Structure 1
Amino acid sequence: MEPVKILVGYVPTPEGEAALTAAAAEAELRGASVLLLNTSRGDAYIDARYANEEELAAAQARLRDRGVEVNIQQAVGTGDVAGELLKAAAAEDVTLIVLGLRRRSPVGKLILGSTAQRVLLESPVPVLAVKAPSRHE
Protein backbone atom coordinates (compact mmCIF):
# COMPACT_ATOMS: atom_id res chain seq x y z
CA MET A 1 0.00 0.00 0.00
CA GLU A 2 1.33 3.44 -0.99
CA PRO A 3 2.05 5.87 1.85
CA VAL A 4 -0.54 8.63 2.11
CA LYS A 5 0.74 12.21 1.91
CA ILE A 6 -1.20 15.43 2.44
CA LEU A 7 -0.05 18.77 1.05
CA VAL A 8 -0.96 21.84 3.07
CA GLY A 9 -0.51 25.33 1.66
CA TYR A 10 0.67 27.18 4.76
CA VAL A 11 1.03 30.88 5.43
CA PRO A 12 1.33 32.39 8.92
CA THR A 13 -2.21 33.82 8.94
CA PRO A 14 -5.49 32.67 10.52
CA GLU A 15 -6.34 30.99 7.20
CA GLY A 16 -3.00 29.19 7.13
CA GLU A 17 -3.43 28.08 10.73
CA ALA A 18 -6.90 26.71 9.90
CA ALA A 19 -5.42 24.79 6.97
CA LEU A 20 -2.66 23.40 9.21
CA THR A 21 -5.20 22.26 11.82
CA ALA A 22 -7.35 20.58 9.15
CA ALA A 23 -4.30 18.90 7.57
CA ALA A 24 -3.22 17.57 10.97
CA ALA A 25 -6.68 16.12 11.62
CA GLU A 26 -6.79 14.51 8.16
CA ALA A 27 -3.29 13.09 8.62
CA GLU A 28 -4.29 11.54 11.94
CA LEU A 29 -7.41 9.99 10.40
CA ARG A 30 -5.57 8.62 7.36
CA GLY A 31 -2.25 7.72 8.96
CA ALA A 32 -0.66 10.18 6.54
CA SER A 33 2.39 12.38 6.51
CA VAL A 34 2.16 16.10 5.73
CA LEU A 35 4.10 18.16 3.23
CA LEU A 36 3.89 21.77 4.41
CA LEU A 37 4.50 24.18 1.52
CA ASN A 38 5.04 27.85 2.26
CA THR A 39 5.44 30.22 -0.65
CA SER A 40 5.02 33.87 -1.45
CA ARG A 41 3.90 35.79 -4.48
CA GLY A 42 7.19 37.65 -4.58
CA ASP A 43 5.39 40.92 -5.21
CA ALA A 44 7.07 42.74 -2.32
CA TYR A 45 10.52 42.79 -0.72
CA ILE A 46 8.99 41.67 2.57
CA ASP A 47 6.03 39.31 2.39
CA ALA A 48 4.20 38.40 5.61
CA ARG A 49 2.93 35.24 3.90
CA TYR A 50 6.50 33.91 3.74
CA ALA A 51 7.00 32.15 7.07
CA ASN A 52 10.15 32.72 9.08
CA GLU A 53 12.09 29.94 10.86
CA GLU A 54 10.23 30.43 14.14
CA GLU A 55 6.79 30.19 12.46
CA LEU A 56 7.83 27.07 10.54
CA ALA A 57 9.25 25.45 13.68
CA ALA A 58 5.98 26.14 15.52
CA ALA A 59 3.93 24.64 12.67
CA GLN A 60 6.22 21.61 12.57
CA ALA A 61 5.90 21.16 16.35
CA ARG A 62 2.08 21.33 16.16
CA LEU A 63 2.05 18.48 13.66
CA ARG A 64 4.66 16.38 15.45
CA ASP A 65 2.83 16.83 18.77
CA ARG A 66 -0.10 15.07 17.10
CA GLY A 67 2.16 12.24 15.92
CA VAL A 68 2.22 13.44 12.30
CA GLU A 69 5.38 13.19 10.22
CA VAL A 70 6.05 16.48 8.43
CA ASN A 71 8.34 17.73 5.68
CA ILE A 72 8.64 21.48 5.04
CA GLN A 73 9.34 23.16 1.71
CA GLN A 74 9.51 26.86 0.84
CA ALA A 75 9.29 28.38 -2.62
CA VAL A 76 10.48 31.95 -2.92
CA GLY A 77 8.88 34.61 -5.06
CA THR A 78 7.77 32.70 -8.11
CA GLY A 79 4.61 34.80 -8.34
CA ASP A 80 2.53 31.69 -8.99
CA VAL A 81 1.34 30.27 -5.67
CA ALA A 82 -1.24 27.97 -7.28
CA GLY A 83 1.39 26.68 -9.71
CA GLU A 84 3.79 25.94 -6.84
CA LEU A 85 1.09 24.02 -4.97
CA LEU A 86 0.09 22.02 -8.05
CA LYS A 87 3.72 21.31 -8.95
CA ALA A 88 4.47 20.07 -5.41
CA ALA A 89 1.31 17.94 -5.41
CA ALA A 90 2.42 16.21 -8.62
CA ALA A 91 6.09 15.86 -7.66
CA GLU A 92 5.36 14.49 -4.20
CA ASP A 93 2.44 12.25 -5.25
CA VAL A 94 0.06 13.64 -2.62
CA THR A 95 -3.44 12.30 -2.10
CA LEU A 96 -5.04 15.47 -0.71
CA ILE A 97 -4.39 19.22 -0.80
CA VAL A 98 -5.54 21.41 2.11
CA LEU A 99 -5.97 25.18 1.64
CA GLY A 100 -7.18 27.99 3.86
CA LEU A 101 -9.68 30.46 2.39
CA ARG A 102 -10.09 34.12 3.30
CA ARG A 103 -13.49 35.41 4.28
CA ARG A 104 -14.90 37.68 1.63
CA SER A 105 -17.44 40.45 1.40
CA PRO A 106 -20.76 39.70 -0.35
CA VAL A 107 -19.34 41.14 -3.58
CA GLY A 108 -16.07 39.30 -3.10
CA LYS A 109 -17.96 36.03 -2.76
CA LEU A 110 -18.87 36.24 -6.43
CA ILE A 111 -15.23 35.52 -7.25
CA LEU A 112 -13.24 32.91 -5.37
CA GLY A 113 -9.61 33.86 -4.84
CA SER A 114 -7.56 33.12 -7.91
CA THR A 115 -5.10 30.83 -6.11
CA ALA A 116 -7.80 28.73 -4.45
CA GLN A 117 -9.94 28.67 -7.59
CA ARG A 118 -7.06 27.49 -9.77
CA VAL A 119 -6.05 24.76 -7.31
CA LEU A 120 -9.65 23.56 -6.97
CA LEU A 121 -10.12 23.44 -10.75
CA GLU A 122 -6.74 22.02 -11.77
CA SER A 123 -5.84 19.64 -8.95
CA PRO A 124 -5.67 15.96 -9.91
CA VAL A 125 -6.44 15.05 -6.27
CA PRO A 126 -9.19 16.11 -3.85
CA VAL A 127 -8.86 19.57 -2.27
CA LEU A 128 -10.09 20.43 1.22
CA ALA A 129 -10.73 24.17 1.51
CA VAL A 130 -11.22 25.50 5.04
CA LYS A 131 -12.05 28.90 6.50
CA ALA A 132 -10.46 30.42 9.56
CA PRO A 133 -12.81 30.81 12.50
CA SER A 134 -14.45 34.20 12.52
CA ARG A 135 -13.40 36.68 15.20
CA HIS A 136 -16.85 36.30 16.73
CA GLU A 137 -16.60 32.53 17.25
Structure 2
Amino acid sequence: MIDPYQEIFEKIIELSNESGYATFDYLPDESQAYPFVYVGYQQNIDRITKTRFLGKTHIQLDVYAEHNRRFEVSRILNDLLNVIQHHRKTAHFTYTVVNSESQIVGDNTTDIPLIHGILELEIQYS
Protein backbone atom coordinates (compact mmCIF):
# COMPACT_ATOMS: atom_id res chain seq x y z
CA MET A 1 0.00 0.00 0.00
CA ILE A 2 1.23 3.45 -0.89
CA ASP A 3 1.71 5.76 2.10
CA PRO A 4 0.04 9.08 1.23
CA TYR A 5 1.82 10.89 4.03
CA GLN A 6 5.28 9.88 2.85
CA GLU A 7 4.33 10.72 -0.73
CA ILE A 8 3.19 14.22 0.28
CA PHE A 9 6.35 14.68 2.39
CA GLU A 10 8.56 13.70 -0.56
CA LYS A 11 6.57 15.94 -2.94
CA ILE A 12 7.15 18.94 -0.69
CA ILE A 13 10.89 18.28 -0.65
CA GLU A 14 10.85 17.87 -4.44
CA LEU A 15 8.92 21.13 -4.96
CA SER A 16 11.28 23.02 -2.66
CA ASN A 17 14.34 21.68 -4.49
CA GLU A 18 12.76 22.50 -7.87
CA SER A 19 12.20 26.05 -6.60
CA GLY A 20 15.96 26.35 -6.17
CA TYR A 21 16.25 25.93 -2.41
CA ALA A 22 18.73 23.58 -0.77
CA THR A 23 16.27 21.28 0.99
CA PHE A 24 16.89 18.46 3.46
CA ASP A 25 14.93 15.96 5.53
CA TYR A 26 17.65 16.24 8.19
CA LEU A 27 19.52 19.18 9.69
CA PRO A 28 22.74 19.48 7.68
CA ASP A 29 26.10 20.11 9.32
CA GLU A 30 27.72 23.53 9.64
CA SER A 31 29.37 23.28 6.21
CA GLN A 32 25.97 23.79 4.53
CA ALA A 33 25.56 27.31 3.15
CA TYR A 34 22.59 29.44 4.18
CA PRO A 35 19.75 29.73 3.43
CA PHE A 36 18.44 26.18 3.49
CA VAL A 37 15.10 24.46 4.05
CA TYR A 38 14.57 21.62 6.51
CA VAL A 39 11.42 19.49 6.24
CA GLY A 40 11.21 17.30 9.31
CA TYR A 41 8.20 17.48 11.59
CA GLN A 42 5.09 15.68 10.37
CA GLN A 43 1.93 14.58 12.21
CA ASN A 44 -0.64 12.41 10.43
CA ILE A 45 -4.35 11.98 11.15
CA ASP A 46 -6.40 9.25 9.42
CA ARG A 47 -10.12 9.37 8.77
CA ILE A 48 -11.57 6.01 7.79
CA THR A 49 -14.78 5.91 5.75
CA LYS A 50 -16.72 2.94 4.41
CA THR A 51 -15.07 3.13 1.02
CA ARG A 52 -11.62 4.66 1.52
CA PHE A 53 -9.09 6.32 3.74
CA LEU A 54 -8.95 10.07 3.97
CA GLY A 55 -6.52 12.02 6.03
CA LYS A 56 -4.65 15.12 6.83
CA THR A 57 -1.08 15.83 7.71
CA HIS A 58 0.63 18.68 9.50
CA ILE A 59 4.06 19.38 8.04
CA GLN A 60 6.55 21.96 9.22
CA LEU A 61 9.10 23.58 6.93
CA ASP A 62 11.99 25.41 8.58
CA VAL A 63 14.10 27.98 6.74
CA TYR A 64 17.44 29.00 8.23
CA ALA A 65 19.56 31.97 7.15
CA GLU A 66 21.97 34.52 8.56
CA HIS A 67 20.24 37.10 10.78
CA ASN A 68 20.53 39.91 8.21
CA ARG A 69 18.57 37.96 5.56
CA ARG A 70 15.11 38.23 7.09
CA PHE A 71 13.56 39.53 3.86
CA GLU A 72 14.90 36.50 1.98
CA VAL A 73 13.52 34.09 4.59
CA SER A 74 10.11 35.77 4.35
CA ARG A 75 10.21 35.49 0.54
CA ILE A 76 11.17 31.79 0.69
CA LEU A 77 8.32 31.02 3.11
CA ASN A 78 5.83 32.78 0.85
CA ASP A 79 7.20 31.14 -2.29
CA LEU A 80 7.06 27.65 -0.77
CA LEU A 81 3.49 28.17 0.41
CA ASN A 82 2.42 29.27 -3.08
CA VAL A 83 4.21 26.43 -4.86
CA ILE A 84 2.90 23.73 -2.52
CA GLN A 85 -0.69 24.94 -2.43
CA HIS A 86 -0.92 25.34 -6.20
CA HIS A 87 0.68 22.03 -7.15
CA ARG A 88 -1.98 19.85 -5.44
CA LYS A 89 -0.93 16.40 -6.75
CA THR A 90 1.46 13.58 -6.02
CA ALA A 91 1.81 10.46 -8.15
CA HIS A 92 -1.17 8.77 -6.46
CA PHE A 93 -3.06 11.43 -4.47
CA THR A 94 -4.63 14.85 -4.67
CA TYR A 95 -4.04 17.18 -1.75
CA THR A 96 -5.20 20.58 -0.57
CA VAL A 97 -3.49 22.99 1.80
CA VAL A 98 -6.36 23.88 4.14
CA ASN A 99 -4.44 25.98 6.66
CA SER A 100 -1.05 27.60 6.98
CA GLU A 101 0.77 29.51 9.68
CA SER A 102 4.17 31.14 9.53
CA GLN A 103 6.51 32.88 11.88
CA ILE A 104 10.04 34.25 11.88
CA VAL A 105 12.14 34.06 15.03
CA GLY A 106 15.74 34.62 16.03
CA ASP A 107 17.95 31.58 16.50
CA ASN A 108 21.15 31.53 18.55
CA THR A 109 21.90 27.80 18.44
CA THR A 110 25.02 28.27 16.29
CA ASP A 111 28.14 30.41 16.50
CA ILE A 112 26.49 33.02 14.25
CA PRO A 113 23.08 34.60 14.82
CA LEU A 114 20.42 33.17 12.53
CA ILE A 115 16.90 33.94 11.45
CA HIS A 116 14.55 30.94 11.54
CA GLY A 117 11.43 30.95 9.40
CA ILE A 118 8.73 28.40 10.20
CA LEU A 119 5.92 27.42 7.84
CA GLU A 120 3.31 25.05 9.26
CA LEU A 121 0.95 23.45 6.75
CA GLU A 122 -2.23 21.49 7.31
CA ILE A 123 -2.81 19.36 4.22
CA GLN A 124 -5.77 17.11 3.44
CA TYR A 125 -5.49 14.34 0.88
CA SER A 126 -7.91 12.20 -1.08
TM normalised by structure 2 equals: 0.33
More strand by share: 2
Q: Which structure has the larger Rg?
A: 2
Q: Which has the higher contact order (CA 8 A, sep 6+)?
A: 1
More helix by share: 1
TM normalised by structure 1 equals: 0.31
